[in-house]
Amino acid sequence: MSAPNKSYDPVEVAALSAEEVQRMVDAALTAIAGAADLQELKAARLAHAGDRAPIAEANAEIGALPPAARADAGRRVGAAKSAIRGALTHRQQELEADRDHRALAEETVDVTLPWDRVPPGARHPVTTVGERLADIFVGMGYEIAEGPEAEAEWYNFDALNFPPDHPAREMQDTFFVAGPHGEPRSGVVLRTHTSPVQIRSMLTRPLPLYVVSPGKCYRTDTLDATHSPVFHQIEGLAVDEGLTMADLRGAIGAFVEAMFGEGLRTRLRPDFFPFTEPSADVSMECHVCRGASTRPGGDPCRVCRSQGWIEIAGAGMVNPRVLVACGIDPDRYSGFAFGLGIERSLMIRHGVTDIRDTVEGDVRFSRAFGMEA
């Protein structure tokens, strides 16, 4: 800004002459009208109404005029600035309306168009069958019990009356959890069955006791059509006064009818498990052929391989040594227990022939079972 100059002749100051100010206004209005979009208008605003615009510089000169000339020049510049501001506001509104209009036209959503449906997924049949199995026992008054998958060897083996040199403890069957300093054994294993939950239940719950425990188990098996290193079992345990093998048969029979069909018979044959005595292998009558495949002239049955019976569980009366290990008086109480494979039940019930289908996570497999709750 120049210093005030009393002898200044306004007529001689070109920047503030009416013609010059009008030229500035004309240039500004042309640029504003010519701005094709908001970006260009922004540039025009900077050039013609910004701090460095000719009109702003002219405005700064007013103070340098002799007082008599200031009012005139001030009015002229003020009118010019407001004309430019008015034009800017007007063009801004036009361009915004334009932009909104275009956006509405271009971004119209055709609600009648088909869209990519995102399928809701499906619960895994091992989960739903496991829940169904547990529900059957809950319906008979059993409670659900849980235990850890990384289990103390004592619960998984010792308390269940596995002798220290029992082959099932050896490397080919059991995943041993390494110790903190790299020792191959830490006293913890990935549980090889759900039976350790029997021990946990007997040690912590009041008698009488009726529990089922579904969950994951681990064995060092290679994945093939009939084996998986990770699988699921459901364990059952009842401890009460006066329980006998007849009670075990009753529980198994009720379960088989609820899971596989009314009127199916069950069969117990002698077997061996260290934690039950006597022990039994439980089979049910084939729910597909109901034994017809074993009779002369009957069609062969793929499900029971024409045996008429399908093995479904291990079971038995709780070994008194196990009761004693849990502080239960075997002269007063007796118990029965059973354990069955959830994948196996699923495969039997739905005719799945390859266990790998249950671990590969292909939703097409799960979806076939529907969204059963």
Instruction: Kindly write out the interface string for residues 232-271 of this chain, putting x where it contacts ligand DAH by CB under 6 A and - elsewhere.
Output: ---x------------------------------------
Q: Which is nearer to ligand DAH, 125 or 316 (CB)?
A: 316
Smallest gap from Cβ 195 to ligand DAH, in A, equals 4
| CA 269 – CA 263 distance, rounded (Å) | 20
Which member of 315, 346, 347, 348 binds ligand DAH (CB under 6 A)?
315
Sort 370 into a burial class: Cβ within 10 Å, 0-12 / 13-18 / 19+. exposed
Quote the CA–CA distance of 306 and 293 in Å, as a whole number.
5
159 φ, ψ (degrees, to nearest 5): -65, -20
C-beta of 235 vs 357, nearer to ligand DAH: 235
Interacting span for ligand DAH (CB under 6 A) from 27-35, 54-62, 200-208, 309-317 = 309-317
Rg from Cα positions in the chain: 44
- Tell me whether residue 160 or residue 289 sits nearer to ligand DAH (CB atom): 160
Query: Do the Cβ atoms of 16 and 10 come closer than 8 Å?
Result: yes
Site for ligand DAH in 27-86 (CB under 6 A): none
Q: Report d(CA 315, CA 280) in Å as an integer.
A: 5
Of 44 and 252, which CB lies nearer to ligand DAH in the complex structure? 252
Closest approach, Cβ 185 to ligand DAH, in A, equals: 21
Q: Which is nearer to ligand DAH, 286 or 315 (CB)?
A: 315
The least CB distance from residue 298 to ligand DAH, in Å, is 31
Residue 40 vs 158, nearer CB to ligand DAH: 158
Binding of ligand DAH by 276 (CB under 6 A):
yes
Q: If you search the block for the tokens 């034009």, which residue do you land on?
A: 87
Q: Which of 32-40, 75-83, 94-102, 311-319 is the region at the interface with ligand DAH (rule: CB under 6 A)?
A: 311-319
Residue 214, token pair as written in the block? 């579904």
The least distance separating ligand DAH from the CB of residue 276, rounded to whole angstroms, comes to 4
Among 45, 193, 232, 287, binds ligand DAH (CB under 6 A): 193
Per CB under 6 A, the list member of 339, 342, 347, 358 interacting with ligand DAH is: 339
CA 39 → CA 84, 85, 86, 89, distances in Å?
A: 17, 17, 18, 14
Candidate residues 215, 308, 314, 335; the one interacting with ligand DAH per rule CB under 6 A: 314
Minimum distance between the CB of residue 270 and ligand DAH, rounded to whole angstroms?
12
Question: Of 174 and 293, which CB lies nearer to ligand DAH in the complex structure?
Answer: 174
Choice from 201, 316, 325, 344 touching ligand DAH (CB under 6 A):
316
Query: Which of 291, 284, 283, 328 has its CA nearest to residue 307?
Result: 291
Burial 309-340 (b: 16+ CB within 10 A, else e): bbbbbbbbbbbbebbebbebeeeebbbbbbbb
Interface mask (CB under 6 A) for ligand DAH, residues 6-25, using x and -? --------------------
Burial label for 257, CB within 10 Å (0-12, 13-18, 19+), is: middle
Strands (E), the chain: 143-144, 150-152, 176-177, 188-190, 209-218, 230-240, 266-273, 276-285, 309-318, 334-341
Q: Which two tokens stand for residue 135?
A: 């529900």
Cβ proximity to ligand DAH: between 214 and 316 the closer is 316
The residue assigned the tokens 């084996």 is: 227
Q: Is 337 in the site for ligand DAH (CB under 6 A)?
A: yes
Q: Please, which residue, 83 or 317, has the CB nearer to ligand DAH?
A: 317
Angle between helix axes 38-49 and 67-106 (nearest 10 degrees) is: 170
Closer CB to ligand DAH, 54 or 341, in the complex = 341
Q: Are 280 and 315 in contact (CB under 8 A)?
A: yes
Applying CB under 6 A, the residues found at the interface with ligand DAH are 193, 195, 235, 273, 276, 314-316, 337-339
